[in-house]
Chain A
């Protein structure tokens, strides 16, 4: 179930569009934000709002990298594995993150805060190696900077980027 407010907001947004399907990705992002990830229930809600079937929504949801069909933490740390970040990855960022947070790739920390996932080149090549956390770049990483980033995030405990 989604709160009435969110439903009304999404319904209004979809009504405004010339074609409801245009709003599919936005609706999925909004529901993902509410549920924490795009669960089966979220897919069904999206379908109902958009006038699509659950299958049709899932055809889209499972295509995209930033739509999470499995549970993720509050902060999804996408470690860039583009060729430039790879070049600067002797102290492999991904490896360090997993070691520090004591998770494997794709796993969420027990406190529900962090999930570590790879992602393709995030476009921050002039600050390699870099990661993307909830829409925010962290670049020129080394173990110290990674530690600092984790601490900052733990302290902030709020999504970095306002809306998705």
Chain B
């Protein structure tokens, strides 16, 4: 009988405080680094990560080993590793929990990535609301430095690498890799597409690797126990490792739960998060935060894994599950999410900057009893066109709308025909106040 929870990333978890450096080391920490530096060539580290099947946990799900291998051996120096701790996807809080649980695991993961691509400098890019975690990281980086795990000639080898914390001014788009690079360089953080690839010209025009902190935290375990072990942790054949499923919404115990990749949605909700809040019935869930589509009851047993969701026409994203009950209006929920995207749009391209406010306006009218039949094809068309925006922001913004249209068109029509929201009041709408 496979235990419901698996402690890999959370193995050193302490109640109410982060694990210390000593606790991390006692749990086997920094051994993977030591082995890698002394016994493995960078190429071999990459090989192991490739074989493990590790996929990025920041939302895109890109195979990590493949990304690391993308930096050519002959690429220029210095090279950079960015540990993406921006985590601004609504509904997502797993990285905060991870960093707060075991900062050194994240540090070691970043070090291993740096070793693998022969980088010299690294950056923790962190959002303003995680200020306490920024300070935590700064303190623990000092500890790691003092212990000889950062700086020049780490563990008396040729490998030198240092990490700093870079604070963001606070915008969702900063989570996008090219925008994040711009942000670090002190430019307006717009994404840059169609230019030279990050692997060769990223931060300060040099080879740069950007990975989510959860992804990086997996790496010490892959090296310590081996890629096959990591792969076997998953419940599905296509998955690998464990996943931090952040569950929030109308569940009994919202929180961040480490479970084998591919655990079924229903299991996560009932076994880990204690089931629906008393009196509530499951209506739909977002699998990965606001830029994914609603999954209604028919997907209750779906395996929460990249491939399984893709096959079903959905996206795992960050694996941050937001649970809605039957008393919650999904039109209003979508409207709320559109407000988010409209506010956070960087403003570079037309579909995102102007199209999303149009969608938001139509949804607002539907929710407030001013909806019309003719809005539905417009919503459908505009959401579909978001695919052709400049970066992945707008397509993500369109996903909840597409989900709404695909699975809950009836709810939309009810609003329109009843000329009001059938679910009643949803709190004061402050949206107008700051627009």
A124 to B246 CA separation, bound complex (whole angstroms): 10
Asked if B156 is an interface residue, CB under 8 A from chain A, the answer is no
Q: Is the CB of A95 within 8 A of B91?
A: no
A14 to B204 CA separation, bound complex (whole angstroms): 16
Asked if B208 is an interface residue, CB under 8 A from chain A, the answer is no
Q: Which residues of B contact A136 (CB under 8 A)?
A: 132
Q: Is the CB of A83 within 8 A of B170?
A: no
| Nearest A residue (CB) for B123 | A22
Most buried by A among B93, B96, B132: B93
B246's partner among A21, A23, A126, A137 (CB-CB below 8 A) is: A126
B167's partner among A18, A25, A82, A137 (CB-CB below 8 A) is: A25
Say yes or no: A66-B433 contact (C-beta < 8 A), given A87-B250, A126-B93. Answer: no
Q: Which residues of A contact B92 (CB under 8 A)?
A: 121, 123, 125
Q: Which one of A3-11, A56-64, A149-157 is at the B interface?
A: A56-64
A66 to B129 CA separation, bound complex (whole angstroms): 9
Q: Which residues of A contact B187 (CB under 8 A)?
A: 21, 60
A126 to B246 CA separation, bound complex (whole angstroms): 8
Nearest chain B CB to A14 CB, angstrom units: 11
Q: Which residues of B contact A22 (CB under 8 A)?
A: 166, 184-186
| Nearest A residue (CB) for B189 | A63
Q: Is the CB of A83 within 8 A of B427?
A: no
Q: Is the CB of A164 within 8 A of B167?
A: yes
Nearest chain B CB to A148 CB, angstrom units: 20
Q: Is the CB of A83 within 8 A of B169?
A: no
Asked if B152 is an interface residue, CB under 8 A from chain A, the answer is no
Q: Is the CB of A81 within 8 A of B336?
A: yes
| Nearest A residue (CB) for B254 | A126
- Which A120-164 residues have a C-beta within 8 angstroms of B? 120-128, 132, 135-137, 161-164
| Nearest A residue (CB) for B346 | A63
User: What class of interface size applies to chain A in its complex with B?
Assistant: 35 or more
Asked if A101 is an interface residue, CB under 8 A from chain B, the answer is no
> Across the A-B interface, how many residue pairs have beta carbons closer than 8 Å?
169
Asked if A70 is an interface residue, CB under 8 A from chain B, the answer is no
Q: Is the CB of B91 within 8 A of A82?
A: yes
A124 to B430 CA separation, bound complex (whole angstroms): 20
Q: Which residues of B contact A162 (CB under 8 A)?
A: 135
Say yes or no: A125-B254 contact (C-beta < 8 A), given A19-B204, A60-B186. Answer: yes
Asked if A71 is an interface residue, CB under 8 A from chain B, the answer is no
Nearest chain A CB to B385 CB, angstrom units: 23
- Which B132-147 residues have a C-beta within 8 angstroms of A? 132, 135
Asked if B214 is an interface residue, CB under 8 A from chain A, the answer is no
Say yes or no: A123-B127 contact (C-beta < 8 A), given A82-B340, A84-B90, A86-B427. Answer: yes
Q: Is the CB of B336 within 8 A of A125?
A: no
Nearest chain A CB to B200 CB, angstrom units: 19
B185's partner among A19, A86, A105, A161 (CB-CB below 8 A) is: A19
A26 to B91 CA separation, bound complex (whole angstroms): 27
Q: What are 17 A-B contacts defined by CB distance under 8 Å? A: A22-B186, A25-B186, A29-B167, A29-B169, A82-B336, A82-B340, A84-B249, A92-B430, A104-B433, A118-B433, A120-B90, A121-B90, A123-B130, A125-B93, A128-B254, A132-B129, A161-B132
Which 10 A-B residue pairs are closest in the complex by CB-CB distance? A64-B169, A21-B186, A135-B131, A92-B427, A121-B90, A125-B248, A24-B186, A65-B170, A126-B254, A66-B170
Given contacts A87-B333, A120-B343, 8 further A-B contacts (CB under 8 A): A84-B322, A89-B427, A90-B427, A92-B428, A104-B433, A118-B434, A123-B92, A162-B135
